[in-house]
Structure 1
Amino acid sequence: MLAFISALIVFLGIAFFMTGNSTTTKTTSTKKVPTVGILQLQTHPALDAIHRGIIAGLKTGGYTPGKNIKIDYQNAQGDQSNLKTMSQKFINENADETIAIATPSAQALANAAGKDTPVILAGITDPVGGGLIKSNQHPGGNVTGTSGESPLKSHLDLLRQLVPKAKKIGIIYTTSDHGGEYNAKKFAKICKQEGVAYKLYTISSTNDMQQVAETMASQVDAVYAPQDNGVASAMKTLISVTNKAKVPVIPAVDTMVKDGGLATLSVNQFELGKLSGEMAAKVLKGKSPATYPIKLITKGEMTLNLTEAKKLGITFPASVIKEAKQKGEIFK
């Protein structure tokens, strides 16, 4: 009898141990891997750089795609209806967090998410004016992230330095791009304060660029192309027109210089994305977007296009070249 009881105790002990082991194994194997939806407005170099930065930032924050996080990346290719459908897809599939590349993407995600799913902004111009947050310091809801405010006064100073004889500046933006309109009108306000003549031009889509650019090039001495997704996507069309008229274009972003702009002081788009990715990682770990201030990068890096300068007969001052070599980029 004693032997039987001893055997029973040993059996029950082994069974408990195995059951406990099984439960532990099951818990470990079913540990939830967070899903992050990334919504990009369209394909162009600046937005692509932000996307690469987001992935790098998530890795810095401890999340590696394919290892301990699932990334659902969607590109709307400039279609507003796609933005709505893709945003709703993230919410329907219970994404733990969403990340927006470009203002229209952010607005679509914020509308779909309501007050629940966190939305991380990646380089969004004027998130307050875009109706996304209450204030940069106190977002107040489920939205936070980074804002890439262009150094507009520095852009005007650079334009006047490189094109000192310019009497009138053309400023072009896309009517459906809140960030582009914000930048264009703010730049126009600075021009007015500085006593510089200007004229605003608009496109409703990239299809309008050829015609609008031809009109603008015949009326101005230089063009400012703000941080605007539509203008950036049609940059090569704009440059093909302005080059024929020998009208230099100062854009807001380094990738737009690569596409034919003369020069700029550009906020690094990759670094903007990386900062957003790092913030996204912290929110995944429990930080509240409502009390997580918007982070800004406003200091630009000098970027020059030597080929474009040669086409236009413009010589860069030695100080400008030196700055680009030390901390910036020179396209040849």
Structure 2
Amino acid sequence: MVISRRSFIACLGALLGPRAADAQRSGHVPRIGILCPHRLSGARGMPRDVFEHALGGLGWTPGSNVELEYRDAEKNDDALAEGAAGLIRLNVDVIVTCGGRATRGAQQSTNAIPIVMSATSDPNRSDFFFDMLLNGRRDNVTGVVLLTTGAGPRALELLSEAGTGFDRIAILWDIRTPSHSAKLKTVEDAARSLRIQVRPVGVRSLSDLPSAFATMQREDVKALLVLGSPYFFAERGRIVELATRYRLPSMFDSRDATEAGGLMSYSANHAALYRRAAGYVDKLLRGARPADLAIEQLSQFELVINLKTAKALGLTIPPSVLQRADQLIK
């Protein structure tokens, strides 16, 4: 009989995975495994300080009464499954996962160890999360899903209100990113409701970016909305540089881009996501069962505005928009 590597890993998880309630054993220091995929080109992964601070507020001090084992892996199924297997071999009590692929990799590797997922997703476009959220097919998985439905249209609306005459907006989208066609359609539908003209500009690689911005200039667009993509995140510095050169007010889906000089960002509040995940870990270490903890659907975003960039562009952002910002970079 031939056993696949994934089947072997799943069997290993069943044999080695301890119960989270073992954290209550006298003298036992619980161990938490954190499994996250690499993001491209030095992008930030889990905000460890936020997660560890949240654990501390719940009575768990890393290095004292709890141990943390971080594992980063390439963003592919085999690498994430192997990362999960490594955590299983360490006899972790709980596995915290970042994103859908990491959750799937951990779930396929063990049905004994509780898994706390922390992920952003639009369940309308994810069969995996649709199954867990609506059909309850989650076994040993619980946690938090931050829903991104409607983020693109809201970002477009905020950008259109940030300056006078922002009624013709370019949308930079990534032809390589599978979800972008659907996201683009959602934004285009919103644009019609808002009576905004949009000009989609698609790229396939970094080398396409200069010509994309030249196209935006020819089309006389007034601002730029950048759809979220791992590739765009990795190249956020280059995109910010081009937006600055062409004097285009820009809206990103990552605060990192705004900190790098973009004008605005409207993005998932990952700090809130991982604080909630810490709460699930706390309950599991104190004896709760994953099946008894409902998956929370969170919808929490943050608007960040770079006032230095606005000044460089000669742009005065209306008070009505500034008042909605969660952070102003001065």
TM-score, normalised to structure 1's length?
Answer: 0.74
SS at match of 2:161: helix
**Which entry has the higher C-alpha Rg, 1 or 2?**
1
Question: 1:7-156 counterparts in 2 under 5 A?
Answer: 31-42=27-38, 47-49=45-47, 51-76=48-73, 82-113=79-110, 115-126=111-122, 129=126, 131-132=128-129, 134-136=131-133, 139-141=136-138, 142-150=140-148, 151-156=151-156
Question: 1:1-332 counterparts in 2 under 5 A?
Answer: 31-42=27-38, 47-49=45-47, 51-76=48-73, 82-113=79-110, 115-126=111-122, 129=126, 131-132=128-129, 134-136=131-133, 139-141=136-138, 142-150=140-148, 151-163=151-163, 164-173=165-174, 175=176, 186-191=186-191, 194=194, 196-199=197-200, 201=202, 203=204, 208=205, 210-220=206-216, 221=221, 222-324=223-325, 328-332=326-330
SS at match of 1:52: helix
Identity among equivalent positions (%) equals 19
* Contact persistence 2:32–2:68 (CA under 8 A): yes
Q: Which segment is superposed worse, 262-271 or 154-163?
A: 262-271
Q: Which amino acid aligns with 2:306?
A: N
* Contact persistence 1:177–1:229 (CA under 8 A): no
> Structure 1: any 5+ residue segments left out of the alignment?
1-27
SS at match of 2:85: helix
Q: 1:94 offset after TM fit, Å? A: 3.0
> Aligned residue for 2:4?
none
What do residues 156-211 of structure 1 show as CA deviations (whole Å, max 9, x unaligned)? 11111125334242133484686x777556445534554543426355xxxx3x32
Distance 1:95 1:323 in 2: 42
Distance 1:316 1:171 in 2: 22
Q: Which amino acid aligns with 1:147?
A: V
Distance 2:71 2:106 in 1: 12
Distance of aligned partners of 1:217 and 1:39 in 2 relative to their CA distance in 1, 3 Å threshold: same
* Contact persistence 2:224–2:248 (CA under 8 A): yes
* Contact persistence 2:305–2:327 (CA under 8 A): yes
Q: 1:274 offset after TM fit, Å? A: 0.8
Q: Give the aligned CA root-mean-square deviation in angstroms.
A: 3.3
SS at match of 2:322: helix
> Aligned residue for 1:5?
none
* Contact persistence 2:29–2:67 (CA under 8 A): yes
Distance of aligned partners of 1:29 and 1:162 in 2 relative to their CA distance in 1, 3 Å threshold: closer
What do residues 35-76 of structure 1 show as CA deviations (whole Å, max 9, x unaligned)? 211123236676343x32222232333322112221111233
> Aligned residue for 2:15?
none
* Contact persistence 2:118–2:144 (CA under 8 A): yes
Distance 2:130 2:65 in 1: 30
> Structure 2: any 5+ residue segments left out of the alignment?
1-23
Distance 1:63 1:96 in 2: 14
Distance of aligned partners of 1:230 and 1:79 in 2 relative to their CA distance in 1, 3 Å threshold: farther
* Contact persistence 1:60–1:278 (CA under 8 A): no
* Contact persistence 1:47–1:269 (CA under 8 A): no
SS at match of 1:131: helix
Distance 1:282 1:212 in 2: 48
What do residues 227-274 of structure 1 show as CA deviations (whole Å, max 9, x unaligned)? 444322321121112222222320123333112221134443212211
- Give aligned pairs, total: 294
